[in-house]
Amino acid sequence: MALYPLFANLSGREVLVVGGGEVATRKIEALLDADAHVLVHAHALDDTLSQWLQQGRLQRLYGDFDPDWLERVWLVVAATDDRAFNARLADEAQRRRRLVNIVDDAELSSFHVPAVVARAPLQVAISSGGAAPMLARRLREQLEAQLDDSLGKLAALFARHRGTIRARLPQLAQRRQWFDTMLDGAVAELLRTGQDAAAEATLVAALHQVTQAPLRGRVSLIGCDDGDPGRLTLRALRTMNQADVLLYDAEVAATVQALARRDAERLPMPPAPAARQALLLLHAGAGRHVVWLQAGVALRTPPPVALVAELAAHDIACDAAG
């Protein structure tokens, strides 16, 4: 069974954490970053937590543990080193339908805490589903080095201009194409090199140049070779993720198809050449980006000349994305 990933808005919402050691501190730090109202109960608090308590960042619940505290909160974290107590708390939370994280028991937890790469407002969360938390952590460390700090600024820039972008590009398909062009263009590079004002000016200028001309259809052919998804190039992957329509030969493995854009329309490619051409013309002719996953064709095989000519006659671009 797969866990359902979600990002929760806990701003101002009560969360109960039981335990005051190193692990509780890590969970509480993340909760405070999310502006949650943290209630903590523990026999003893470590130095950092005592300091946060003094600063008024936490509220401490004293006395014996009272299961009724669970009535007040949205989430519960059991972070003591007392397994039996943690298990009891899981049970109490379950009965009250509170989501609960048990730090020493993945099975009893109804939510897990992922490893997170934070580039606010962008976040990448990694979960091994409890199978290997250290693997999630290792992957996070690798991504920290790969994901530039400027990605947060890029997300914030798009957010600031969201209203204008929607107004200038009212159709979703247009917006998607425009975003792809922008993400591949100068804006991201300018932000990466600290030229924030120039990046914003470039984006604004590009928005003003948007024309309302109908979208030109495009057909991209991807030779899937022997069907090994590991052999696809970055370019092929990117093209698969820009597709509006995904046409696939019957022999193309599901593992290859699974790498394409989730909300692309997926259709099997019929075997007859005339039917194939008709399908390409139908979808690309409506201004959509059609990607054809071909079985048994080597990557980067140029598209057949006759097909290119036929599509060009309908003002449809055709390329091999390998």
**Contact of residue 82 among ligand NAI, ligand SHN, none (CB under 5-8 Å per partner type):** ligand NAI
Residues in the chain: 322
Binding partner selected for residue 80 from ligand NAI, ligand SHN, none, CB under the kind-specific 5 to 8 Å limit? ligand NAI
From 46, 92, 104, 180, residue interacting with ligand SHN (rule: CB under 6 A): 104
Q: What's the closest the beta carbon of residue 27 comes to ligand NAI, in angstroms?
A: 8
> Which of 26, 167, 187 has the alpha carbon at shortest distance from 103?
26
- The distance of Cα 212 from the centroid of its chain, to the nearest Å, equals 30
Q: At closest approach, how far in Å is the CB of 144 from ligand NAI? A: 18
Q: Taking CB under 6 A as the rule, which mask of x and - marks residues 119-138 in contact with ligand NAI? A: --------------x-----
- Site residues (CB under 6 A) for ligand NAI, limited to 75-114: 79-82, 85, 103-104
The DSSP bridge partners found for residue 119 are: 122
**Backbone region of residue 145 per phi and psi (left: phi > 0; alpha: psi in -120 to 50; beta: other values):** alpha
Q: Determine if 110 is a binding residue for ligand SHN (CB under 6 A).
A: no
Q: Which two tokens stand for residue 102?
A: 């048990």
The single-letter DSSP state of residue 217 is P
DSSP codes, 16-40: EEE--SHHHHHHHHHHHHTT-EEEE
Q: How many residues touch ligand NAI (CB under 6 A)? A: 20
> What is d(CA 146, CA 96) in angstroms, rounded to the nearest whole number?
42
Token reading at 152: 């947060």
In angstroms, give the least distance from the CB of 152 to ligand SHN.
Answer: 18
| Count of Cβ atoms closer than 10 Å to residue 315 Cβ | 12
- Near ligand NAI by CB under 6 A: residue from 16, 17, 24, 58: 24
| Rounded CA separation 131/214 (Å) | 49
With a CB cutoff of 8 Å and minimum separation 6, the contacts of 186 are 199, 202
> Binding segment for ligand SHN among 40-48, 58-66, 111-119, 203-211 (CB under 6 A)?
111-119
Least Å distance, CB 78 to ligand SHN, is 9
Q: In the chain, how many H helices and how many E strands?
A: 13, 12
Closer to ligand SHN by CB, 92 or 104: give it: 104
Q: Looking at 121-129, 193-201, 280-288, 302-310, which segment touches ligand SHN (CB under 6 A)?
A: 121-129
DSSP state letter for 7? -
- What's the sign of the alpha-carbon dihedral 154, 156, 159, 160? negative
Structure tokens at 82: 């007392």
* CB distance 321 to 294 below 8 Å: no
Q: Which does residue 19 touch among ligand SHN, ligand NAI, none (CB within 5 to 8 A, set by kind)? A: ligand NAI
CB under 5 to 8 A by kind: which of ligand SHN, ligand NAI, none does 130 bind? Answer: ligand SHN
Establish if 128 lies at the interface with ligand SHN (CB under 6 A): yes
18 binds, among ligand SHN, ligand NAI, none (CB under 5 to 8 A by kind): ligand NAI
Residue matched to tokens 């101002």: 12
Where does this chain bind ligand SHN (CB under 6 A)? 26, 101, 103-106, 109, 112-115, 127-131, 133-134, 136-137, 140
Please give the residue ranges that form the binding site for ligand NAI (CB under 6 A): 18-24, 41-44, 65, 79-82, 85, 103-104, 133
